[in-house]
Amino acid sequence: MISNNHKNNKSQFIPDAARTLVQVKDLVHVYPTGTRALENINVSVGEHEKLAIIGQNGSGKTTLVKHFNGLLQPTEGTILVHGADTRKTRTAVLAKTVGYVFQNPNHQLFCVTVAEELRFGLRNLRLPPDEIEQKVKETIELFKLQPYLDVHPYSLSMGARKLVAIASIFAMGPQLMILDEPTTGQDYESKKILSQVIGMMYESGKSIVFVSHDMSFVAEHADRAIVMSRAHIVFDGSLPDLFIRQDVLNEADLRPPHITQLSQRLSDYGVSPRVLNVAEMVSEVRRCLA
Ligand SMILES: Nc1ncnc2c1ncn2[C@@H]1O[C@H](COP(=O)(O)OP(=O)(O)OP(=O)(O)O)[C@@H](O)[C@H]1O
Ligand SMILES: [Mg+2]
């Protein structure tokens, strides 16, 4: 176990109360099988955040985020969404604030066409039909789904199916969108769409939490990372701070993205070891050569 204090893992990033979207207090989750998937979790998600949750298989990432919209209820502890206890708030009400895209899209898609899938959540929000059609149209354009509208979601590849699942939650316009492993099975074009969607949501003041094993994607898109290991949060902070924490990286079996590893190797030559992407590397090298 690493030195970061598991037993009292209060988040370093507790946003001010008025801006807190989700607050998790002393959360423990034990599945009916007896598996203790979460122990003593204390964490907050603020408004206007891009937060990545990372960690090895089975470390508790999905179990944690499923508490954010009431899909799972705590065994011990409390989850507040905009101050409302998820135990006392209906899932339909929580869904207006927090949208969760399942790790496995097969758990989410059950309409017979892609177009119907996009309308489904909007109808549940009881929006007027013309508003529903407008939102569906905008979502189709953004996600480039025109060729698939009349197609059964199950006839699509896993990656495309995942994109439809993300699109159907995006269309509902939640304040916080949770993407559980969004890049799995995605090709370059789909990842580009995903990047655009995350950027658009963030620019409009929303928050995005994504669970991912894809460290380049994490470095490109997150401002803050939570690392989970064996049911605990072992790190909560910025990406550059994470990538120099060898103890946390070892504990969670993580590797910084190649570009960050390169910057660390070049630090003897004056390059900052905190580089996260190509643009930052170019400006660091230019600075060193000036
Ligand atoms: N429905 C369930 N019933 C019983 N145990 C479960 C259930 N779902 C998850 N678990 C167990 O809880 C622990 C945490 O699982 P979880 O799915 O939250 O991990 P994860 O970090 O999301 O993993 P992955 O990276 O593989 O998606 C694991 O030991 C897992 O086997
Ligand atoms: Mg998972």
Q: What is the pLDDT of residues 168-196, one digit of tens each?
A: 999 999 999 999 999 988 889 889 999 99
Distance from the CA of 180 to the center of ligand 1, in angstroms? 13
Q: Which atom of ligand 1 is nearest to the CA of 56?
A: 25
Q: What is the pLDDT of residue 235?
A: 97
Q: Which atom of ligand 1 is nearest to the CA of 103?
A: 27
Protein residue closest via CA to atom 27 of ligand 1 = 57
Q: Which ligand is nearest to the CA of 55?
A: 1
SS3 206: coil
Q: What is the pLDDT of residue 12?
A: 42
Distance from the CA of 273 to the center of ligand 1, in angstroms? 34
Q: Would you say how long the chain is, in residues?
A: 290
Residue of 62, 64, 100, 212 to mutate, ligand 1, most atoms within 8 A of C-beta: 62
Q: What is the pLDDT of residue 196?
A: 92
User: Edge-to-edge strands of the sheet including 20-30?
Assistant: 36-46, 20-30, 76-81, 84-85
Protein residue closest via CA to atom 28 of ligand 1 = 58
Residues with CB under 6 A from ligand 1: 31, 33, 35, 37, 55, 57-63, 103
Distance from the CA of 37 to the center of ligand 1, in angstroms? 7
> Domains of the chain (ranges plus CATH)?
17-254 (3.40.50.300), 257-290 (no CATH)
Distance from the CA of 210 to the center of ligand 2, in angstroms? 11
Q: Which ligand is nearest to the CA of 61?
A: 1
Protein residue closest via CA to atom 29 of ligand 1 = 58
Q: Which ligand is nearest to the CA of 252?
A: 1
Residue of 54, 63, 72 to mutate, ligand 1, most atoms within 8 A of C-beta: 63
Helix and strand element counts for the chain (H, E): 11, 10
Between CA 227 and CA 18, with CA 169 as vertex, the angle to 5 degrees is: 60
pLDDT of 239-290, one tens digit each? 999 999 999 999 999 999 999 999 999 999 999 999 999 999 999 999 999 8
Residue of 39, 57, 232 to mutate, ligand 1, most atoms within 8 A of C-beta: 57
| Low-confidence stretches of the chain (pLDDT beneath 70) | 1-18
Q: Exposed e or buried b for every residue in 73-84, given b needs 16+ CB within 10 A?
A: ebeebebbbbee
Protein residue closest via CA to atom 20 of ligand 1 = 58
Q: Are 267 and 250 a contacting pair, CB within 8 Å?
A: no
